[in-house]
Structure 1
């Protein structure tokens, strides 16, 4: 039987494909732009027909009908990371959360520590060899496909066919649903003077030939906008966005000086504009790989001069970073921040930057604090953090004493809060 015949044999309506799910199943859905809307809408419409079904995902973009506190006994969201659609459920307690490093999610799925009975994913059209590409997000989805009883692909001509370890063969697929919806687009965050100031401190410490991992947000993108004059930068990241594409277009990124997979950009998921998705399509300079390849500190750290840039919400005077909760209230999740901080620490010549504005709520609250608020999850530990950057400067912590760390961090706090931070540090015997 030809690949095309197999394809036609596996075509189903979304309503019929959803019936492949059994009560008690966990459905694994990929990151953000790779979530399959036709399948998830059908699941939402039929959710009351199921019992104890769970949907596991990082960073959902759209709020589907199954995000419903009244029907959690039917279908319940399980977050690897809370996004705009799922945050309210996490904060109210009717969505669950699995704490995990992004690098280790594939391992948790392969070992059965986190279940994967069914996979729902967007995919590119099939090629002549019978392969689909999960080019928008290889993340943990490739590992889930290894374990799943049923793999359902929503095939969409707008999904780029990317290279790398992100291909699925027709023989691995249980059912195919077709759609042609535009892929969700996410624009660049707003960049103001504070973001620009922080971005300049970081950009000034990035050298020609460095390899970059840059997270999402106004500050990381402010860094990107100030790197267009650099030369021979490389990319080894988790998220591919429009900012990094801009560096390629400007000529700043060539990947020529990368010592680990030279001449190739590595990423695990993409989130950006239609132009970005078109840039990805059959681009020989780009490979999309699962997060246990892109985010593994040992592998990523083999890039010499790896520079990683990630945002946090709070830093205490010993250097602990609270990047995912405000107190016990969830905002996001662990993600890949710690993965890449550790990777940069392993890298020959590497630098990891944690970035944050010095204040919040119109300069009424300091983000540099004596101790993290009670209940706050420590995302990056005091033993891992290196550079912390605010609009007031750069604190370098790695290898420093607790006393030196407190001095460094107070020095980059907003001037209005330095006095009280110093008094608090004295009471804590840090100064």
Structure 2
């Protein structure tokens, strides 16, 4: 049971005045993952603090955090203790490592939420992962009379089904667990798409509490670049593009950018195969510099494959480079590129990749995997981007867009991307989450 001093039978008294010492509300933001790789939850925390709310941001602190988090006196980072290395490696079979990892997470979540943080009026939880996050959040909210909000990014069971298969016992257990707790636990829910909100209202979820669609929108750091000299200077500065800067500026080499987590739900082989098709074309097409950013478990496997394709001359006039950039350099790279590529495959069919939102914020048109229901909520075919389902289709899009020497098609798509990216996170958040929290009219 929680210590007596932390038990609450009514919401903590909080002032409605605006000052650092007397925050408007208190919110715990919980991510059972790396805080630095959870941009949407970071934006939540900064928006709450911007409007005078106090935030305890709870999660694993593994990568660099947004300066807006660490420099804000209203935001406190509360790191979770990661599981032992044995449970994070592939040494133990999943049937043993999985349950042991969950037990570790149950203890660390309960201890951190119940003993290391003060009671808050709201607990905002990222889902997935749902196990054991939703269960522990429900217990904590019961003892402290805290209002629980679930921010649905996707479904945990559909992601697990991608690796274990839909009939695996753990997948079926995860599905029922997520549906049951998701149906009655939250005071309210946020979803990333209208399609997800609609699905949560039906079986097996049957969520009856309010469901609000809060679309991802680009943060202020993602901006188009209209100054050609600024674009030239950046391309000449970073090592991945410095040797190609003049050719990119002249339109003689096309710059592709793709951000990936190097996981099975982003099939990088689609892009590699498409680039091989492009290289085999008998048409006179411009060279491509493809820069891939991100970290993940399959990175080395694909790096080896890229090296093999390059050594066997299957990537003629194609250069593939990987990069790990600061947030500002990544945002600028998007603004300097000719085309963004998204390989995200939705396990649920109703989520959307935030990387596309960031690309639109930088005024970068997108070509992405489009075989799921919610894709058209964000990307409008031929207006701000293009869709594909097979590598041959992706190669055909590259050829069509890059064969246009005058760049009229890319210019039209870029205009659409700028328009789509003009609605920013603050505007979206204030009208949805800000009103729910009572921070905005």
TM over 0.5: no
Instruction: Considering fraction of residues, name the structure with more strand.
Output: 1
